[in-house]
Amino acid sequence: GAGVSQSPRYKVAKRGQDVALRCDPISGHVSLFWYQQALGQGPEFLTYFQNEAQLDKSGLLPSDRFFAERPEGSVSTLKIQRTQQEDSAVYLCASRGQGGEQYFGPGTRLTVT
Amino acid sequence: RKEVEQDPGPFNVPEGATVAFNCTYSNSASQSFFWYRQDCRKEPKLLMSVYSSGNEDGRFTAQLNRASQYISLLIRDSKLSDSATYLCVVNEGTNAGKSTFGDGTTLTVKP
């Protein structure tokens, strides 16, 4: 079946702009994760949903500019308000299968100028 | 100290070599463990789960030592196509809870 999809694949934003990144998980997967990956580092946990419930958003803190939602328990959106240059990174979404393994989307590469 | 730590490498080995990577984790309550492979500018892809009894998939062997809180990955008879970054992942639960990634170990296999 279809894998995890993310859009847009690339986004260039001027500093101070708001951006919204979308993730479509594998159909039927209950858990969905967002990660931020900077060059040369592993994916850094941002937040995690089980269905529509956001069970852990510790990675979004202490920033008050990052928000995520999954209102119907399927598609999720990561929103970054008032983007800063340090937000430039690849944002990865993953959904989790029954065995605990995660399946990743291709990521959104965000560049803040 | 990071929750999941890996030797960043790089490991540069000739084709046919055997190479081993280790990963240590700090949360003793962690329940499930995985190795992922990430190619340059691509998303991580599952390589294998890691079971307490150890498990093998072709040239790849994964082991878990809960007492010492480390995970290992052994690659035998390295191929050029094994060149990638290998990420260790630790889950809070078996199929629940947060996942924490290491920063990865880079492997380059040379002819």
DSSP string for B56-108: EETTEEEEEETTTTEEEEEE-S--GGG-EEEEEEEESSSSSS-EEE---EEEE
pLDDT at A1: 56
Set of chain A residues whose Cβ sits within 8 Å of the Cβ of B103: 40-42
Q: Which site among A101, A103, A108, A109 would you substitute to test the B interface, given the most B Cβ atoms closer than 10 Å to its Cβ?
A: A101
pLDDT at B9: 85
Token digits of residue A13: 């934003």
pLDDT at B51: 86
Could you tell me if A105 and A94 are in contact, meaning their C-beta atoms sit under 8 angstroms apart?
yes
Confidence label for B53 from pLDDT (cuts 50, 70 and 90): confident
Nearest Cα to B51, choosing from A31, A51, A99? A99
Render pLDDT for A10-61 as a digit per residue (tens, 0 to 9): 999 999 999 999 999 999 999 999 999 999 899 999 999 999 999 998 888 7
Sign of CA dihedral A51, A21, A100, A56: negative
CB contact under 8 A, A92 and B97: no
**How much of chain B is in helix, strand and coil states, percent to nearest 5?**
5, 55, 45
Q: How many helices (H) and strands (E) does chain B have?
A: 0, 11
CB contact under 8 A, A42 and B103: yes
* Mean pLDDT of all residues in B48-69: 93
B52 in A contact zone (CB under 8 Å): no
pLDDT at A60: 87
Dihedral, B23, B42, B56, B12 alpha carbons, nearest 10: -60
**pLDDT at A104 > cutoff 90:** yes
